[in-house]
Amino acid sequence: MVRLYIQIASSTDPDWSPRRTATAEEVQASAKKILHPYLIEWERVEWYSVYPIGQGISDKYTIDHRVFLGGDACHTHSPKAGQGMNTAFLDALNLAWKIHAVEAGFADRAILTTYESERKDVAETLLSFDNKYAKLFSQRPPAAKEVQAASEQTNAQVEDNEFVKTFKESCEFTSGYGVAYKPNALNWSPAHAAKSSLINPQGSKLRTGRIMINADVTRVVDANVVHLEQEVPLNGSFRIYVFAGVPAVTSRALEDFALRLGNKRSFYSSYLRPDIDSVSHHEKHNPHSLFFTICTVFAAQRSQIEIARDVPSLLARYRDHIYADDRWDRRVPDARAAAHAKMGFDQERGGVVVVRPDGYVGIVTSLVEGSGTVDALNEYFGAFCTNKLGEKMAQL
């Protein structure tokens, strides 16, 4: 099955009308002219419609945070650049994990208010881009001699082409990497309730509310090279990426981090699985909690990492998520540990990244000895979780 978009009228035509209709036969005739001297024939037409290009957005994405809308129910635009379904999928993903977190008793209902503020902002950006992009598509197509002249242009002349400029300026957004959510309880900023001095360490290249920077690493248990950001499935879990630096330097900090995670008032231990004692040995993503998966990345060669020796037992339970940062990357050609360097972490001392279930960075902290790292994360999760976290028990 093949889908064709055929322009039957342009907004620059004097008789242009968004209500104009055309028969399937007329559209087929136009397609044949466009593809000439090549031939195209139809056995049958499964679906056909006339679509006037227009941009629209709903005033609200939710009614009392009980009824929610997404996708085409919220925003309409042209079929250019393949953004309709992409945006709708991300609407659904953004909403789904938040409803799951609330219904499972993990997060306060207040996080549902972030669905509209995050996704409507993205839709407004999309419509702004689409409005400009669709107009360029609808302009008069160039004549053959103009196309030939364009192919003979210098690079500088091509850069001056409005269509090329618009496409290049928008490619980050259309690829999905340009989405940037504004600060809220889930996306740390200086206005957030979490105030630890370890948050947002100097040199960090990660931006909260943005997709985590992609990086290749070597999985220790089987020596497979993997994309770190794709290792945890979309299962509703927050991903805790521990960039553990050089084992000889961070061993104490890593031990302290694992010890504090095990504290019953920590963000991690407050939400342990009720069936934790019967979880399968083969469970690799959520052996302790349905809301967290821990990934540990060492700035060392795989052959230098011994899980039993270098990884505290709590973190070692996630043996399928222990990695060696030993892959060369042309973006940081001089780095000894490319993934650490791309994130902006000290290659010896590392750091910690919390990534939301939908893949966006929530908070970044330093990895230090003592309780500071877990305390900072307790502050972050405490801003939207249902349990009281990190508070010291009163003593008589």
Q: Which of 108, 142, 174 is the last residue of a domain?
A: 174
pLDDT of residue 395: 40
Tell me if 183 is assigned to some domain: no
* 263 and 365 within one domain: yes
Q: Which two tokens stand for residue 83?
A: 């953004």
pLDDT of residue 48: 86
pLDDT of residue 155: 54
Q: Which two tokens stand for residue 164?
A: 């090329």
Question: Is 365 within 8 Å of 199 (Cβ atoms)?
Answer: yes
CATH number, position 220: 3.40.30.20
CATH number, position 120: 3.50.50.60
pLDDT of residue 341: 98
The secondary structure of 343-381, three-state, reads: HCCECCCEEEEEECCCCEEEEEECCCCCCHHHHHHHHHH
CA-CA-CA-CA torsion sign (95, 189, 321, 269): negative
Positions of the chain with pLDDT lower than 70, given as ranges: 9-21, 79-82, 137-161, 163, 391-396
Domain range for 148 is 54-174
* 376 and 309 within one domain: yes
Domain count along the chain: 3
* 225 and 367 within one domain: yes
Nearest to 68 by CA among 85, 88, 83, 82: 88
Tell me if 249 is assigned to some domain: yes
* 322 and 295 within one domain: yes
What is the rounded distance in angstroms from the CA atom of residue 205 to the CA atom of residue 334?
17
pLDDT of residue 177: 79
Q: Which of 174, 208, 243 is the last residue of a domain?
A: 174
pLDDT of residue 202: 95
Tell me if 91 is assigned to some domain: yes
* 76 and 138 within one domain: yes
* 368 and 247 within one domain: yes
pLDDT of residue 173: 76
* 293 and 233 within one domain: yes
